[in-house]
Amino acid sequence: MTDHLTKANINLFAILRNLEDLCAMEDETKLIVKDCNISIQFIVKNGPEAFLILKDGKCALQKGRKRCKIKLYFKNPEHLNKMFDGKANPILLKGFTKLGFLKKEFPKLVEKLTYYLKPTDQLLKDPKYLEINTYLTMFTAFNAMVQIANHDRLGKLNSSRIPDGVVAISILGGGPSIFITSKSGCLEVNNETDKPIRAYMSFANTNIANAILNNKVDTYSAIGGGELEIKGCIPMIDNLNKLLSQVPAYVR
């Protein structure tokens, strides 16, 4: 069972935030925002607020409110989720002179993001596509997991059982690392940390990470084969896995 508030947070802070990495990793996406200087405020009544900056070929997503050029308002979390599903439009409060960007460049960004998050076996034969899909899928899964831990009813129950500390999730052989911090039952995700690591989840390489994240290889088989290493505070990993099992209900 899913709820609209959790899904709204996932859509903004797990799905949309992928534009940050996609602009950094993929040249065509970078070109779309090469000459942009746009800031978009997402305001959801009784829900999350996010601020998207697109400037000089780079993208950044932040929480909260700032001065913006485009302001999009949503009546409730369900309204935002319907927009992400292509079934509703936002209410434009500011930025009528920027409609060209919303109708032209922004849909191209969404199309690119969808392309890299919806792999096929044929597309995954391209090493560059596989790399981008792996990284974005990893970031989506663990950012969505954090939103589930902090907002979903069952997610809160599972996250309350996670001991305080940091879990490092890494793709070895030059891949990225992300760090999940647990404190008093709440989770947050960061790209770096200066705190001690209590548990590790390490994928042997990008190919293995892609196969596991796309459910083509069973996690336990990967652990048994030495392709996925788990060590440290095992109760932290066990409860993170329970949260990860909820992600497919929200992200399809």
The DSSP line for 172-195 is TTT--EEEEEEETTEEEEES---S
On whether both 85 and 18 belong to a single domain, the answer is: yes
Q: Which of 111-120, 198-207, 212-221 has the lowest mean pLDDT?
A: 212-221
Amino acid, single-letter form, for residue 232: G
Which H or E run includes 15?
none
pTM: 0.93
> Are the C-beta atoms of 18 and 113 separated by less than 8 Å?
yes
Q: Kindly indicate the confidence band of residue 1, based on its pLDDT and cuts at 50, 70 and 90.
A: low
Q: Do residues 19 and 104 both lie within one domain? A: yes
Q: How many domains does the chain have?
A: 2
Mean pLDDT score of the chain: 94
Last-in-domain residue among 117, 138, 167: 117
**Co-location of 10 and 88 in the same domain:** yes
pLDDT digits (tens, 9 = 90+) for 152-209: 999 999 999 999 999 999 999 999 999 999 999 999 999 999 999 999 999 999 999 9
Distance between CA atoms of residues 244 and 203, nearest Å: 16
pLDDT in tens, 8-33: 999 999 999 999 999 999 999 999 99
Residues 53 and 131 in one domain: no
43/145 same-domain check: no
Comparing 252 with 80, which gets the higher pLDDT?
80
> What phi, psi does 138 have (nearest 5°)?
-60, -50
pLDDT for the residue numbered 82: 96
Q: Which domain holds residue 193?
A: 123-250
User: In 85-179, which residue ranges form alpha helices assigned H by DSSP?
Assistant: 99-103, 105-117, 127-151, 153-159
CATH number at residue 151: 3.30.1050.10
Domain boundary among 117, 137, 159: 117
